[in-house]
Every structure is written in C-alpha cells, then in structure tokens.
Amino acid sequence: MSTCPPEHPEQDHTEDHTPRPGAPWSPDEVETLKTLYPSAPWEDLLEALPGRSPGAIGCKAKDLKIKRETYHSLPGSHTRHRASPGGSYEE
C-alpha cells in the first residue's frame, strides 16, 4: 500500500511539460527514476525530473521499491541521507 498522496489523473502537465502537483508519473519519468535514483546526486535527479519535489521523488521510489545505493546530500541540506537496509531513510 502506497504512503504517497494519490495521483490525480485529471491534472496533467503544464505548458512547459513539467508535472502539476499530484499529476501521474509518465512512463519516461518512471524510467528516469529507475535509472538515476540508486546512485545519482539529488541535483541530477531534480534536474532530470523537473516539477517533482525531493519528497515526491523519494515517495515514488519507495512505491517502486527502488533504494539508494550511495550517500548524497539533499539540496540545501548539510545532512547526508541514504536508504537503510529496511528502505527507510537514515541521517
């Protein structure tokens, strides 16, 4: 069962193709997440998934059972985060 807020199919993408809050994830976004999330720095994830917040990215990754393999600081954070063996985040 997902812990993420429900997606709203009636909400689509803006004219610049960034998703509106709560918009369903496109197949391309999911593929990008699967490719980058395990090892890419947060800055790369946010650049590759415009319009998706760190929380939305982490929530979707958790739903897809994708875990981080390396430590990376969240943008604007001085704390380094990684996925623990149980899938939750540790500081």
Q: Give the burial string for 59-88 (b: 16+ CB within 10 Å, else e).
A: bbbbeeebebeeebebeeeeeebebeeeee
For residue range 57-76, list pLDDT tens digits in order.
999 999 999 999 876 666 66
- What does the pLDDT read at residue 59? 95
Residue 7 identity: E
pTM for this structure?
0.65
